[in-house]
Structure formats: structure tokens, C-alpha cells
């Protein structure tokens, strides 16, 4: 194969051509590293590039294949890992400078990726502790949207989104505690599924921001997301949350969803937030397309519950718990130190109450699925703002600026439901548009099936220009 076109392949196709001997894992990894070297200086997706280790790992994959050993479903596929997730031999920086000792072992999600044959090529940028949905920090600088470098790629998994949307890697792992997979996916034209709470192990940590967070892939295609989830899903001893049973996600992608009840709404769960007209249009056009595909589609009122008392304490507790384990707290960014101080009121009893409220919010939010099988909403309220949107701002002002990004996303972190950002193609401003599909508890299969149907009916650009 032409090395210059390897970046256009998704993960499924990359693994296939390597397994078939059409190209070696080393050639694929070299092409990935060359693309990172070419594009990343102006975009800032990677905080660490593991070039020598990745090449050595690719050589091991090729040697194993040559020896006739079985190959995994991600054999030789380059992947990138968000900074908050442990990669053996790398400092887990959480997006800042407060740690200095490399992790001794891979996080469970990374271990499973490697066991499936993936090759880790580097770690991706994020705002410190993923506190805000824009990938900006005083230590790592500003990460830029490849569709328009004057705009943000969103966050907090912004580096992962940029790496995938440019073809530096076909898959990158992110985390989502309030929209941090879906927001950058929407900003960068990717498919980003936040899975059901507890679907993916957070080990070595028992939880990620208590009931709010989970890890998962950002991908260019629906089938890539399903493939990676089938690799990384599952729990280990010590995980605080566990999801219910489902079938294989790749099977759901291949399955026709049948006729579903799809409810749509552009009403924001957050008071005072109004969606951009482009996002309203994206929802309305997607609703019409779903109706043309045979679904029962109607506008509904989701009757969203107020999530404030459940979300805010877990947000502050999540930041404080991560700040408590770093080696050099004096190196934390000014805004992070302010956030830690402002969250001093969130003591264990407050967290316990927030977790009880989370159960109540989930029950109320899930009543919408008495009336529909899938909920369709905007993914984000605003168009991707200009870079530097929270630079120099404190915690309170940064939180207010962030509301349009998390408005439609954060409620499903509290409720725990699976939710996905689905690309709709570029808008007239040249930036991607997207919608959000939300499923019932343990409803990833139906979301993947519907998203794959939309992908076939309305193909989206797979790479940023």
C-alpha cells in the first residue's frame, strides 16, 4: 500500500490490511509518526510522542504475525491515550506539571488495547484535570481545531479529537465526565460515544469523578467505536460502577435497528442556554432523515430534571480528589488551585448526598424513554469558539463560559445513560455540525445501530481538510 494513504484508513481497515500482510505494523506506525511530526506543531494534539517505543512495539507485532501467532482485532493499529490515563513509563500529568514520576503500569483500558494488538504512539493534550471543555492550559498551551485553527477543538479530550480527525491516529482514548468525549467529537467531526456508566473499567482508580465519568474512544466511524468498545469494555475488582449486560457492539452496528420511536428536542436542560440556529437545523434535518428511514419521529418535551445539586459536588470532589494525589500540588495551575479552594465545602457527606441525588435524577431523566426509544438533541449549544476562550479566567467565569458546551451533555453523565455525538457534516462556516443521540440505560447497541444507519444514509467527511 501507499504509505501516504495509510492515514485515511479507519481502525477496522488498518487492522485488516496488516493481518492480510498488505502492509506491516511498522509501516503503519511510521506513517502515523510522520503525520504527527508534520501536523502537530501547529495543532498541539500530543503532549508526548512515544516514537521509539511505538516502533519497537510495532516490530513485536510484526514478529508475532510472522511466527504465526494469532493477531488481535487491533493488531498494529496506532492509538493515542488521553493524559489522565496511565501509560506505563509515562508521567500521568492530568494535563499539568504537578506529577513527575512515570506510571509503573498501564491503566486497565490501555492494557486491554495492547492485548488486542494496538500500538500506543503517544499521549494527548487536555486542560488540567479535564475541568473545562476547552483544551487550554498554562503548561501545555492551546490545542487548535484542524477545521479552523483559530477555533477550539473542545475538550477535555481535545487532543484526542484532533489526533483522530487529522488522521494522526485512527483511534484515541478520551474520558467523559460532563461531555468530554462528545463535545470535542462534535467540534471536530467525529463519532464519540459516552458509554453507560461502569461499561469501561476506570482501574487503577475506583471511579472517575464518582458517578460522572467514564473512558472511551473517539473515532471517525461508528464501527471503529464499536470495535474498540468490544475490546476495552468490562470490569475488574475495585471498580465502583458496573454496567448491565449487552451483546457485542460490532454486531449492533451491522444490525438494522428496525422501526424505532425517536423523540427530538432542542430545548436545553440548562437554564438560559439557547442553541445556535445551525444546531437546531442539524437536529431538524436529522429528524427528517430518520423519518425517511422509517422511524416514528416526533418532537417531545424531555422534562429534564435539575442536575445542579448532583453534578456540582461531584465536579468539585473529582477535581479535589485528583489534586490530592499529585506529587507537587504547588505546581497546579492558578485556576485549578482556585477550584480546589472553592470546593472545600464538598466533604464526604456532601458527596454521599450528591450520589443519592444522582439516582433520583437518573430516574427522572429516564422517564423520557417511556415515550421514545432514542432521544435526539443538539450535541453542543454553540459553534466552536475562538481559542483562548477561558485563558486567564478564574473558576466561576470559566464555568459560565463552558455552559453552552456542556448544556446538553452533562445531564447524561449524572443519569449514567449512553449518549453519542454523531457528525452531520460541515456547516456554512466550515466547521463541523453534530447532533446527540441518547439511549436508555445499557442502550449502547441501539445507539450504535441508529448511528450506523445515519452514517450510511448521510456519510460525513472522515478527515479534517
CA end-to-end span of the chain: 22
- For 268, the grid coordinates are 436545553
What is the distance between the alpha carbons of residues 406 and 359, in angstroms, rounded to a whole number? 20
Nearest Cα residue to 120 out of 199, 34, 44, 33: 33
Spatial CB neighbours of 43, under 8 Å, sequence gap ≥ 6: 143, 144, 146, 149, 162, 166
What is the distance between the alpha carbons of residues 116 and 167, in angstroms, rounded to a whole number? 21
- For 135, the grid coordinates are 483544551
What is the distance between the alpha carbons of residues 332 and 391, in angstroms, rounded to a whole number? 15
Residues designated catalytic:
82, 156, 180
Q: Number of H helices and number of E strands within the chain?
A: 15, 13
What is the distance between the alpha carbons of residues 423 and 433, in angstroms, rounded to a whole number? 6
What is the distance between the alpha carbons of residues 424 and 435, in angstroms, rounded to a whole number? 7
Amino acid at each position: 500500500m501507499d504509505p501516504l494513504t495509510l492515514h485515511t484508513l479507519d481502525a477496522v481497515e488498518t487492522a485488516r490490511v496488516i493481518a492480510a500482510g498488505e502492509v506491516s505494523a511498522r509501516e503503519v506506525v511510521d506513517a502515523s509518526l510522520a503525520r504527527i511530526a508534520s501536523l502537530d506543531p501547529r495543532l498541539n494534539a500530543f503532549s508526548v510522542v512515544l516514537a521509539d517505543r511505538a516502533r519497537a512495539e510495532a516490530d513485536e507485532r510484526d514478529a508475532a504475525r510472522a511466527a504465526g501467532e494469532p493477531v488481535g482485532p487491533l493488531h498494529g493499529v496506532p492509538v493515542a491515550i488521553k493524559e489522565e490515563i496511565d501509560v506505563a513509563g509515562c508521567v500521568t500529568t492530568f494535563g499539568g506539571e504537578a506529577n513527575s514520576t512515570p506510571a509503573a503500569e498501564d491503566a486497565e483500558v490501555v492494557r486491554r488495547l495492547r492485548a488486542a494488538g494496538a500500538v500506543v504512539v503517544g499521549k494527548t493534550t487536555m486542560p488540567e484535570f479535564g475541568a473545562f471543555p476547552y483544551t487550554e492550559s498554562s503548561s501545555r498551551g492551546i490545542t487548535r481545531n484542524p477545521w479552523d485553527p483559530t477555533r477550539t477543538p473542545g475538550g477535555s479530550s481535545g487532543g484526542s479529537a484532533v489526533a483522530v480527525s487529522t488522521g494522526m491516529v485512527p483511534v484515541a482514548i478520551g474520558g467523559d465526565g460532563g461531555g468530554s468525549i462528545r463535545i470535542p467529537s462534535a467540534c471536530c467531526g467525529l463519532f464519540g460515544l459516552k458509554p453507560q456508566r461502569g461499561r469501561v473499567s476506570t482501574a487503577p482508580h475506583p471511579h472517575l469523578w464518582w458517578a460522572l465519568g467514564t473512558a472511551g474512544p473517539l473515532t471517525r466511524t461508528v464501527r471503529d467505536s464499536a470495535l474498540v468498545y468490544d475490546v476495552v469494555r468490562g470490569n475488574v475488582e475495585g471498580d465502583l460502577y458496573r454496567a448491565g449486560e449487552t451483546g457485542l457492539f460490532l454486531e449492533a452496528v451491522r444490525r438494522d435497528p428496525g422501526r424505532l420511536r425517536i423523540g427530538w428536542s432542542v430545548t436545553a436542560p440548562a437554564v438560559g442556554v439557547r442553541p445556535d440556529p445551525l444546531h437546531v437545523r442539524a437536529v431538524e434535518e436529522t429528524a427528517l432523515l430518520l423519518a425517511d428511514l422509517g422511524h416514528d419521529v416526533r418532537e417531545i418535551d424531555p422534562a429534564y430534571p435539575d442536575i445542579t445539586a448532583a453534578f456540582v459536588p461531584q465536579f468539585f470532589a473529582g477535581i479535589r480528589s485528583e489534586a490530592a494525589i499529585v506529587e507537587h500540588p504547588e505546581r497546579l495551575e492558578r485556576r485549578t488551585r482556585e477550584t480546589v479552594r472553592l470546593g472545600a465545602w464538598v466533604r464526604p457527606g456532601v458527596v454521599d448526598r450528591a450520589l443519592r441525588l444522582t439516582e433520583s435524577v437518573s430516574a427522572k431523566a429516564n422517564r423520557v424513554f417511556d415515550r421514545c426509544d432514542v432521544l435526539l438533541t443538539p450535541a453542543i449549544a454553540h459553534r466552536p469558539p475562538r481559542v483562548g476562550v477561558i485563558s486567564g479566567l478564574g473558576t466561576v467565569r470559566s464555568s459560565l463560559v463552558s455552559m453552552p458546551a456542556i448544556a446538553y451533555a452533562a445531564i447524561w453523565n449524572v443519569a449514567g445513560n449512553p449518549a453519542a455525538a454523531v457528525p452531520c457534516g460541515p456547516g456554512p462556516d466550515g466547521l463541523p455540525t453534530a447532533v446527540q443521540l441518547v439511549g436508555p440505560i445499557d442502550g449502547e447497541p441501539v445507539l450504535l445501530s441508529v448511528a450506523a444507519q445515519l452514517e450510511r444514509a448521510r456519510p460525513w467527511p472522515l478527515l479534517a481538510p
